[in-house]
Amino acid sequence: MNLIEWFRPYWTPINFFYYALISNILISLWDLYLHYRQHRIYKSQPKLPIDLAPYMDEESFNKARLYNLDKSNFGIIHEVFNIFMKMFLLWILFSSILWTVSTEITYKYFQYHNEIFSTIVFFILQSSISTMIDLPFSLYSNFVIEERHGFNKYTLKFFIWDMVKKFLVFQPIVSLLVGGATYIIIRFEDQFFFYLWLFSTLTAFIFLIIYPSLIAPLFDTYTPLEDSSLKTEIQRLAEKIKFPLKNIYVVDGSKRSNHSNAYFYGFFKSKQIVIYDTLFDENSIYRKKIETEEEKEAAAAEKDISESLEGDEKERIIKEKTKAEEKPKKKSSGCSEKEIVAIICHELGHWYHSHVFKNLIVSLVNLFLIFKIASLFYNDNVIYEAFGFFGVNKPKFIGLTIVIETIFLLYFEVITFCLTPLDYRDFILSFSRSVLFKILGFQFCHDNH
């Protein structure tokens, strides 16, 4: 007997719609509450905790606290907006409206109805609309909050071009994946779950292989780390724990942001380490100054003004500029060499303790179970009618996404809540990773940066 038959008397389109609406509201309010709890921590802890005193100074702590407080204020506003927007789109049955538009576009250009092409158009339109709705928040986040705290390196022109380039690069990839998934669901019907899981797994592995070498270089420049004491220390570290290191790259992340990062990627015996250039001191040979369009325009404008001035006024401007250049420069940002090695130590600890592999196995098992359970519901008329799809108008892949985003909504939240203690355990293990490398001979770094 079908699982749905057990509660068929209550399984109606209107009941399912209100379940989706109410569960979305409750979970959104729960997430907002958690966000607010964290916000209170930022406000109630104005002083540097004693336990952190050996690792950072009061000024660094206060800067970090104020930055996170600003992000938290903005995040709460963004979260509230998303709640109302989500409820509005649910209430007007936006998915069915967008599907109607997608089928009309497909018919206009192909002169026949094709579910695969219509589904691809649907997700392109959905992605475009979502991007435009979120654009004001993204602009404010970068050009107000990040700028205020000295992290933003975007110009408006570069920001827009970056966004357009991401859209042009990733939409064809997403379209192929959506088209392939739709074909599998139509072709294998109720048995699609295994083949869709296999397709998802293979495409994920392929993407992990091609992204670093084919896609990432379209957005950033990856330069091999030059022979140096830093490179020697990283190689020595890799040899000690038998990490199969092949290459070390420096990526020019400083053209977008002053935030720092480091990570590794690769399969089997070919691992690569990537270090953001923002980790290096600004005076380091690895840190290249990115001359933005804004700086070029400012230099050109300054030249025009200088040429238009005469006599005493021009002499005054030159003196003011010379005086400004003679002012002592602020302390250079960036990490020392031993701090960079310590950061790499932490990242390689994930590999040493097989965290990536364990998380991958859990994710694949979880994905299989989700597809299997979703295959029991995805073709039911009640679900389609609840969201405005009537008669034979039942787009299979969209039906699957509706099932996953509604029936599994509470499941995802419960899983996240239950895994929180494990996240805390990973935090403790982060310390143990550092202890591991201290035992191996790599010191902790307590410099204030």
Q: Which residues are documented as binding site for Zn(2+)? A: 346, 350
Alpha-carbon span 222 to 216, nearest angstrom:
9
* Type and span of the H or E element at 228: none
What amino acid positions are annotated as catalytic residues? 347
Q: Which amino acid is at 298?
A: A
Alpha-carbon span 106 to 125, nearest angstrom:
12
Note whether 397 and 378 are within 8 A (CB): no
Residue 178 CB coordination number (10 Å): 20
Residues 6+ apart with CB under 8 A from 265: 208, 212, 271, 272, 274
Nearest to 26 by CA among 413, 418, 420: 413
Alpha-carbon span 275 to 249, nearest angstrom:
6
* Type and span of the H or E element at 224: strand 222-224
What are 164's two structure tokens?
A: 């357009």
CA distances from 252 to 48, 86, 212 (A): 32, 36, 14
CA distances from 321 to 297, 305, 306 (A): 17, 13, 11
Note whether 151 and 134 are within 8 A (CB): no
409-439 and 355-374 helices, crossing angle to 10°: 170
Residues annotated within the binding site are 346, 350
